[in-house]
Amino acid sequence: MNYHLTSFGCQMNDHDAERMRGLLESLGYRESRIRDDADLILFNTCTIRGSADERFLGNLGEARRIKRENPDVVVAVGGCWAQSQKELVFTQFPFVDIAFGPGEITRLGELIARERIEAVGAFSFDGAFSGTLPAKRERPHHAWVQISVGCNCVCSYCIVPAVRGRERSRHPQELVDEVAALAGDGVREVTLLGQNVNSYGRDLPRGERMTFAELLRAVGSVPGIWRVRYTSPHPKDMREDVIAAMAETPTLCEHVHLPAQSGSTAVLKRMRRTYSRERYIDLLARIRDGIEDVSVTTDLIVGFPGETDEEFADTLSLVREARYDGAFTFVYSERPGTEAAAAMQDDIPPALKSERIQALVDTVHEVSRARARRFVDAEHEVLVEGPSRNDPDRLRGRLRQNITVNFSGDAVPGSLAMVRITGASSATLTGEQVGVRVPA
């Protein structure tokens, strides 16, 4: 039996997709690169922005055609879009056989077995963590580790709390054991994943819980793990203890992804982010003071309801003031079920939204290109991932600051190389290997 999997959306979904692959392969399925050849067509969906829905629906139309030609094909739809459409999915898309929410991935095997009898749907907020399943990893020496699911924040634009439910944390010992097992399996770098990693553990019983800073230190001292990252912290919950853990634990990488969303205090208020521009900048200053040569990236939204020219200009000036090394930039898109959709007018015309996103992207490029130059003409540690994507004779890896480097050399994937950086574009660096690094 063959399966074909298409995954959309965020890093949480990338993580879930690795688990779906691992689970299906343990059931004897093999991955097919071509959707037409598959016995099981599986989608892992996202619904955070309107464009995600549109892209997915295009792909689902393709699955309908294949199923029409071969009715034995099973079509399965998992993830956030499925969860958000749970009342409608089987009536609107009758060719879908299985639909399940992000909390039901561990039951995928059972759902496939039951599908033989009837169309099945499974949705809940308190399902098992997909982190407990075996993964088929995209990068063999890197693993995602899901520390929590759900989100207790109330950001007015965001659909995540409605589809992923309240925040639930995994037990710290289970996480440390998982990371130790990954290290035994050759993994050298882990990224801890949660919607708001800083509130990790608050839902666990007293006496059993760890703070996020304590978890970072514990994971960071697992033998064989050389690099630890995490995403994403909410600025309102980022505390000194996390900054101190990063400064004091050698394996914790010098990179913070700190979603700002907007540079305007008034917009932040409408977004219910609960911090001001000033508090955000103050936090950033403390991060830069505490962690030497840290890189900082962010998420920014343009065209939020009511965003004035001045408020948008505040976002541009934040990019310069914060000196971002990179940013994910988004055009606001109204999501039914959010506070903003219910209470605010999506009143920024599409043409103005595109003008703003273009200006934002240009500013981010300019700032991050200037930032990347600080690495040039120096030697840096690179964790080797494999051949370079555009030139198989060269290698690809990342700095501790999470910036990709393409370089000439002979280091093996999963090792640490010392690379002399010779050039910088905004997104990637180029260089030459000058040695290897043996980790302590």
Give the residues lining the site for ligand 5AD (CB under 6 A).
10, 48-49, 157-158, 259, 261, 299, 301, 330, 332-333, 335
Q: Is 155 in the site for ligand SF4 (CB under 6 A)?
A: yes
Amino acid letter, 259:
P
Binding segment for ligand SF4 (CB under 6 A), chosen from 154-162, 248-256, 287-295, 415-423, is 154-162
CB of residue 264 to ligand SF4, shortest distance in Å = 17
Alpha-carbon dihedral 423, 428, 434, 438, rounded to 10 degrees? 150
CB of residue 72 to ligand SF4, shortest distance in Å = 39
Amino acid letter, 261:
Q
* Per-residue interface string for the shown chain with ligand SF4, residues 21-40, x marking contact by CB under 6 A: --------------------
State whether residue 3 is helix, strand or coil.
strand
* CA distance to 45, 59, 302, per residue, from 8 (Å): 5, 11, 22
Among 119, 153, 247, 341, binds ligand SF4 (CB under 6 A): 153
Pairing of strands 326-331, 2-7: unpaired
CB of residue 234 to ligand 5AD, shortest distance in Å = 10
Nearer to ligand 5AD, 162 or 247 (CB): 162
Binding to ligand SF4 (CB under 6 A) within 219-278 occurs at: 234
Residue 410 token pair: 């002979």
* Per-residue interface string for the shown chain with ligand SF4, residues 158-177, x marking contact by CB under 6 A: x-xx----------------
CB of residue 167 to ligand 5AD, shortest distance in Å = 16
Residue 250 token pair: 């050698």
CB of residue 383 to ligand SF4, shortest distance in Å = 28
Residue 267 token pair: 């917009």
DSSP codes of every residue in 161-217: HHHH-S-EEPPHHHHHHHHHHHHHTT--EEEEE-TTGGGTTTTSPTTT---HHHHHH
Binding segment for ligand SF4 (CB under 6 A), chosen from 105-113, 153-161, 170-178, 207-215, is 153-161
Longest CA pairwise span in the chain (Å): 64
Residue 251 token pair: 């394996």
Nearer to ligand SF4, 84 or 195 (CB): 195
Binding segment for ligand SF4 (CB under 6 A), chosen from 104-112, 152-160, 238-246, 382-390, is 152-160
From CA 157, how far away is CA 271, in angstroms rounded? 7
Nearer to ligand SF4, 23 or 155 (CB): 155
* CA distance to 82, 150, 263, 313, per residue, from 275 (Å): 32, 21, 11, 18
CB of 315 closer than 8 Å to CB of 345: no
* Per-residue interface string for the shown chain with ligand SF4, residues 174-213, x marking contact by CB under 6 A: ---------------------xx-----------------
Where do contacts with ligand SF4 occur on this chain (CB under 6 A)? 151, 153, 155, 158, 160-161, 195-196, 234
